Amino acid sequence: MDTYSGLNEKQTEAVLQTEGPVLILAGAGSGKTRVLTHRVAYLIEEKQVNPWNILAITFTNKAAGEMRERVDRIVGAGGASVWVSTFHSACVRFLRRFIDRLGYETNFTIYDGDDQKSLMKDICKRMQLDPKIYKERALLAAISSAKDELIGPEAYARINMGDFKKEKISRVYEEYQAQLKKSNALDFDDLIMKTVELFQTCPDVLEHFQERFRYLMVDEYQDTNTAQFHLVRLLAEKYRNLCVVGDDDQSIYKFRGANIGNILGFEKVFPDATVIRLEQNYRSTQSILSAANEVIKNNAGRKKKTLWTENEKGEPVHFRQFLTGFEEAEYIVGDISKKAGAGQCNYGDCAILYRTNAQSRLFEEKLLMGNIPYKLVGGVNFYARKEIKDLLSYLKTVDNARDDLAVSRIINVPKRGIGATTIGRVQTFAAAEGIGFYEALKRAEEIPSLGRGALKIQPFVTFIQTLRSQTEYLTVAQLLKEIIEQTGYVKELEAEGTDEAKARIENIDELISKAVSYDESTEEPLLSEFLEEVALVADIDTVDDEQDRVLLMTLHSAKGLEFSQVYLAGMEDGIFPSYMTMMSDDSDALEEERRLCYVGITRAMKDLTLTCAQQRMIRGETQYNKVSRFIREIPRELVDLGKNPLSPSKKPSPARTALNQLKRDFHAKAFQQPKQFAVKMNQPLTYKEGDQVRHRKFGTGKVLAIVSGGKDYEVTVDFEKAGVKKMFAGFAKLEKV
């Protein structure tokens, strides 16, 4: 038992509780990965469980890789047989063996987001849908939500019978699935949904995997959706040795379909479950944890737990309020530069976190001006870049010629003189014959309307067929190099000679490196396996821990990471929590935003700085926002205010605001109000300074100031939810409450 001597009491309890359903409520930084890996070791070494009877599931490749390394380190040689996988990777492996039971071929393609958009665009065009009413992204979101709940096209149509718009969506959903099947392709949601369908319709397949995985562990359980819950439940149904680890306080992916009810209601599904709370934090100082506890305790929908640590108390949480977003960015970048220059930290120890991607621009500009290296997490995914998608589409066509999207993408890349008209005629022939696009290309000479166009298609088909015949003895890297050489793809970019072309060549070199790395790490390299691996890569998996760069990312991207120095920017009502959340009647939405704040705070190990601006440019308009309610939930004794008083009501000095010129123009009567809206100055307003008023969009608020401008009144109102707004009385139509 020496292996387990470093565990605390609750961690040890979680490791030793191996039989039956177990819920481990693991607070942020409480060592849950350590518990899971030691649990695997205990099952193998002490309980004599065969390693291949253990399945450990997590959400990201990065997390799975870390767990894999730790298992191998603790268990040694025997650990290699333990399945450590993401949900999607595990399902791909299940489906590669048995998806033929559902009418698919086992060499199916996995469609990424861009592939889905291309397919949906084509469907909308063929169904002649009005793009103003039926937007591709909204249609895909509706289909994804349905799949998360295991609702297929037929069930979706049944549920939404009588709703004209949703009935139309159900027809789109049906066509979308038909096209995927025709291309022998699955999207990410299908990977889970089709696995559940396979288990439900093929009891022998389910029993096979139940026998194989007698001990099941699921990490980040609070992030599971309904489909993933059913997948886990089915696998664990026979032996019931299911251990789920999660933190309801870190459930922040509702927009992706995550169902917090899975973790909150675990004991209802498994009444005999053992519940163990891990509350000792090994990451942060007590000051940071106290702030996190004070914020999250305001949520009603949670399982009570309080983080504590044996670490030092540390510095209080720093709060800084600035006049503008520019000053906020200037301060944060300056503080990082100062600390790095003084040797207090490296750039890689620092992270700037924010609510939305749009907030990154100011920080990027300031970091560039300061010559500070940084990495933006959540930008364009490497595998979504044009040159990478082109070359991957060649590989997909070689591996699975039924993937119409991949074939269509490269038929004229590089240019072969095969235009849209020719492609359209081939697609028409394919539809008439009930065959795939590539099969139609192979029969191009049978299409009378093509004429000489068939001669241009033949070399492409010959090239693909030649490559397909070489897959048995060429590695993935060799195949990729052959495609690059034969198509002249890189030569064309070299001929361009631009900086953009050079960057694209560098990306292609990186793809070749990835292929070589894959070939070297695999005993039997398979093209389908390589394509599957790159298809399952997430943005956060590209974060390189070795690079000394400041990381910029949204709070959602930061989950699972930790940094010595964290700057949480834009802490204002209307930004975080978002304006939409504050205006919503859904209390669950605000609770999710608060959980997101909790996640942000608990990323910090030693130093946490919270910042906000009194005025900020949003969509070209200057907005005045209150200090975020989440900051106001932190007790004053935990906060260092520096030189900036914590004063939500303080407004910027008129002498320093960007509204000066506008005010002068206003008083000079330059603004001519339309007659139908203008308030005549001889008609007194029904409210005065200090009154409570209601606005049809912003809700209720207090009138701070009323200024006469000749043609109309300028009214300043501090709204309860929307913050301070300046408006003309004629447009505002405020009503006294």
Candidates 219, 390, 399, 593; catalytic one = 219
| Three-state secondary structure call for residue 317 | strand
Residue 300 · residue 623 · CB < 8 Å = no
208's enclosing H/E stretch is helix 203-212
* The token pair that represents 570 in the structure block: 């834009």
603 catalytic per annotation: yes
Label each residue of 349-392 as H, E or C.
HEEEEECCHHHHHHHHHHHHHCCCCEEECCCCCHHHCHHHHHHH
Q: Is 365 a catalytic residue?
A: no
Distance from C-alpha of 610 to C-alpha of 321, rounded to nearest angstrom? 9
Considering 3, 17, 18, 33, which one is annotated as catalytic? Answer: 33
Q: How far apart are CA 406 and CA 114, in angstroms?
A: 11
Nearest residue to 234 (alpha-carbon basis) of 258, 194, 207? 207
Strand intervals (E) in 532-630: 550-554, 563-568, 604-618, 621-624
How many residues does this entry show for the chain?
737
Phi, psi of 65 (to 5 degrees): -65, -45
- Given 10, 32, 39, 626, the catalytic residue: 32
The whole-angstrom separation of Cα 105 and Cα 116 is 20
State both tokens at 189: 């949601």
In the set 68, 603, 616, 726, the catalytic residue is 603
Name, in order, each residue with C-beta under 8 angstroms of 662's C-beta and a sequence gap of 6 or more.
Answer: none
Name residue, tokens 């040795």. 241
For 435-459, give the secondary structure using H, E and C. CCHHHHHHCHHHCHHHCCHHHHHHH
Query: Which phi-psi region, left, alpha or beta, contains residue 646 (left: φ > 0; alpha: ψ -120 to 50)?
Result: beta
Distance CA 232, CA 91 (A): 11
What stretch of H or E contains 180? Answer: helix 164-182
Q: Which of 177, 250, 286, 716 is catalytic?
A: 250
Confirm whether 472 is a catalytic residue: no
User: Cα torsion for 99, 184, 460, 393, to the nearest 10°?
Assistant: -90
Tell me, yes or no, if 250 is annotated catalytic: yes
DSSP codes, 706-733: EEE-SSSEEEEEEETTTEEEEEEHHHH-
Kindly list the strands in the beta sheet with 274-278, ordered across the sheet, starting from the edge strand earlier in the chain: 83-86, 54-58, 215-218, 242-246, 22-26, 274-278
DSSP structure class, residue 679: P
- Residue tagged active-site, from 136, 148, 190, 220: 220
Annotated active-site positions, please?
32-33, 219-220, 250, 603
